[in-house]
Amino acid sequence: MKFDTPATTNPIDQMKVVGKATPRIEGPLKTTGHAPYAYEHHDAAANQAYGAVVGSAIAKGRIVSMDLALAESAPGVIAIVTAANAGKLGKGKYNTAPLLGGPQIDHYHQAVALVIAETFEQARAAAELVNISYVVGKGAFDLASSRASGVEAKDQMADTVHGDFAGAYVAAPVQLDETYFTPDQAHAMMEPFASMASWQGDKLTLWTSNQMIDWSVTDLATTLGMPKQNVRLVSPYIGGGFGGKLFIRSDALLAALGARLAKRPVKVALSRPLMINNSTHRPATIQRIRIGANADGKITAMAHEGWSGDLPGGKVERAAQPSKMLYAGENRLVTMRLTTLDLPEGNAMRAPGETPGLMALEIAMDEMAEKLKLDPIEFRILNDTQVDPTNPDRPFSKRQLVECLRTGAERFGWDKRHARPGTQRDGRWLIGMGVGVAFRNNALVKSGARVRLSDQGIVTVETDMTDIGTGSYTIIGQTAAEMMGVPLDQVVVRLGDSSFPVSAGSGGQFGANCSTAGVYAACVKLREAVAQRLGVSVEDAVFADAEVRSGGKNFPLRDAAQGGEIVAEDTIEFAELSKKFQQSTFGAHFVEVAVDSATGETRVRRMLAVCAAGRILNPTSARSQVIGAMTMGVGAALMEELAVDTRRGFFVNHDLAGYEVPVHADIPHQEVIFLDETDAVSSPMKAKGVGELGLCGVSAAIANAVYNATGIRVREYPITLDKMLDKLPQMI
């Protein structure tokens, strides 16, 4: 199905099932332990063995020798995979460095061997006996000292130059010029990277934890040098991904190599230190922001320049991206520079680009508002735009940012905020409020599905779409139920299998809108087939209450399949609408914090998110996504930071004891408001994404609240008490 005109009336608009607050249909399986995660497919293949990964002890250099004798003779050991016996390996599209290193080492904890044994404990013990000698090379591990070597990554984010920034900035009567720092961050999902591989002749089945099935089948086949059709990837349940599981990692490749060498199924799971140093992470950024404005508050010049680092051939963190179009302004300069760092690979983490970018930009907007003596919300509203500032002929398909700010201000009690910092107290606590705008683009990705109607009236949906805890099973089931006019309990949803039609996958907050649009397209085909079987006109047919009604007659839906199951398949393809309209999602985050006047301890007291993200397909799971994202924003603002050993090139705090994330005690009451919005340009579902929007801007709202509470402006995340402690006594 081609989607090339705005959606008008369609069956989804009935909103009998779609749009209703609905518990997750797979919830009982998860809460009772019957939903198998990647390492738990215990009965999927017989005679399973276990693999333990050996990671490089150096960050850059070469392996001189690898002594396997002790490990090979250890109890239970079956085989050991190394680069020497793995055979020729290709390079997948989404892997910056080889997933199996040797003799060259590209980063710390790069996998260099897999020890396979009868039990997990035997494999782990034997892995400790692998003796490796290295020659250590010289590497670059510090972004600040490598900043000057940064280059433009044109294929990822070319410079945006619009108007005359330099001239407009110099002429502006009010100016801001500040630099902000965001650290390296880990995905820290609950479920580890884990896989089990089994070969049947030259065909491979891989049970794994992965967000993007088709991408990963392609990359694994390319890496192993085998036909794509000979690889089946199964990932029905995923315990968190946040972008870290968009691509295959070493667990998947080594499980496949190990199973081939051992001639039996092999399971591999990465330990927490390997998860942090062996997989991807959100790269650190340095961001310089300059804003020029007239005395009335209108922005006339904006420059957002950023730097990030990655392995050779890696990706830039597009932190400056939001400044292209979030606010009005005639003259702007937006650039990102990529430096070479020999740290573990930097790549996508929940809302890449916008998350670290707004951590800086939304502080800068508050700082500029203060210079202009304007309320931070009014300053943002004053500089709202309904068109792409660099292309005025391209309007936003829907932009309710002002409504988000106004609604949030009223609900949160913004009028009670003390404009002068450090003046509101509650005993020893300094109290402050902050705001941050949320912005995330709405990507449109081709997505397909297959639907089946049985003679019992059961509708089954099959698509390789994944559920990373986001509620995909439920919204896909709701879509099919709405389209076919059946209750949700008559829909079966099957996900996460490469034998199903290719979907959008889970990433970039495009999964919900695009995957359900693919199901919509397949259901349109199924409705046509049902009408043909029943001998009625599909244009006049009404599908409701498990019936088909047409011409004054009612037919049970199941009657259409009495002559045999009906199967329909289609794919939604998005044509030119994304070029005619800028499609984005918007929101506003409000936070109240308390800062201990003696110690600088910061506690978040209240949080509110107001989101304008198209039709909300399931308010229950959408709210869950937003409050989870808000929680992640608290972590990014106050505690999350991968500490880099700039001498040896690795992340020191590579476990959940040293890498701090929020716990229940850190998180207060969270409120979420969804504006009533449908976007007919986005898809037939008229929905957008919301899971990443809930994170964008949160950390800056906290930083701005801390400033409002204390008068201390921290421009380097995380905002830890050591960055405020020496300034607090002045205010007691």
Q: Could you report the per-residue pLDDT of 91-140, keeping only the tens digit for each?
A: 999 999 999 999 999 999 999 999 999 999 999 999 999 999 999 999 99
Query: What mean pLDDT comes out for the span 541-563?
Result: 97
Would you state the pLDDT for residue 58? 98
Give the C-alpha separation, 376 to 705, whole Å: 11
**% of the chain with per-residue pLDDT over 70:** 99
Would you state the pLDDT for residue 480? 99
pLDDT(3) > 80:
yes
> Which two structure tokens, joined as six digits, stand for 551?
């011409």
Model pTM above 0.95:
yes
Q: Is 194 strand, coil or helix?
A: strand
What number of CA atoms fall less than 13 Å from residue 327's CA on the CB side?
32
CB-neighbour burial class of residue 374 (10 A; exposed 0-12, middle 13-18, buried 19+): middle
Would you state the pLDDT for residue 730? 63
> Residue 403 corresponds to which amino acid?
E
Q: What is the pLDDT of residues 296-327, one digit of tens each?
A: 999 999 999 999 999 999 999 999 999 999 99
Q: What is the pLDDT of residues 411-446, one digit of tens each?
A: 999 999 999 999 999 999 999 999 999 999 999 999
Give the C-alpha separation, 441 to 399, whole Å: 11
692 included as an active-site residue: yes
> Which two structure tokens, joined as six digits, stand for 616?
């909300």
Would you state the pLDDT for residue 576? 86
pLDDT(332) > 60:
yes
Average pLDDT of the chain, as a whole number: 97
Give the C-alpha separation, 486 to 518, whole Å: 18
Give the C-alpha separation, 249 to 53, whole Å: 12
- Map 250-293 to HEC letters: HHHHHHHHHHHHHCCCEEEECCHHHHHHHCCEECCEEEEEEEEE
Q: Is 369 strand, coil or helix?
A: helix
Residue 82 has φ and ψ, to the nearest 5°, of: -140, 175
Query: Domains in the chain, start-ordered, CATH in brackets?
Result: 2-35+444-579 (3.30.365.10), 49-138+194-274 (3.30.365.10), 373-441+583-723 (3.30.365.10)
The one catalytic residue in 462, 569, 592, 692 is 692
Query: How sure is the predictor about 729, in pLDDT bands with cuts at 50, 70 and 90?
Result: low
Query: What mean pLDDT comes out for the span 580-602?
Result: 97
Query: What mean pLDDT comes out for the span 196-207?
Result: 98
Say how many C-beta atoms besides its own lie within 10 A of residue 653's C-beta: 16
Q: What is the pLDDT of residues 609-644, one digit of tens each?
A: 999 999 999 999 999 999 999 999 999 999 999 999
pLDDT(682) > 90:
yes
Q: What is the pLDDT of residues 281-296, one digit of tens each?
A: 999 999 999 999 999 9
Q: What is the pLDDT of residues 23-81, one digit of tens each?
A: 999 999 999 999 999 999 999 999 999 999 999 999 999 999 999 999 999 999 999 99
Give the C-alpha separation, 64 to 327, whole Å: 55
Of residues 706, 627, 730, the one with CA closest to residue 366: 706
Say how many C-beta atoms besides its own lie within 10 A of residue 609's C-beta: 30
Task: Specify the DSSP element, H or E, that contains 670.
Answer: strand 669-674
Alpha carbon 642 to its chain's center: 18
CB-based contact 71:115 (threshold 8 Å)? yes
pLDDT(731) > 70:
no
Q: What is the DSSP string of 422-472?
A: T--EETTEEEEEEEEEEEEE-----EEEEEEE-TTS-EEEE-----SSS-H
Would you state the pLDDT for residue 732? 46
Q: Is 473 strand, coil or helix?
A: helix
Q: What is the pLDDT of residues 223-247, one digit of tens each?
A: 999 999 999 999 999 999 999 999 9
Would you state the pLDDT for residue 578? 82
Q: What is the pLDDT of residues 703-721, one digit of tens each?
A: 999 999 999 999 999 999 9
Task: Kindly tell me the sign of the dihedral angle through the C-alpha atoms of 397, 401, 406, 409.
Answer: positive
Say how many C-beta atoms besides its own lie within 10 A of residue 354's C-beta: 25
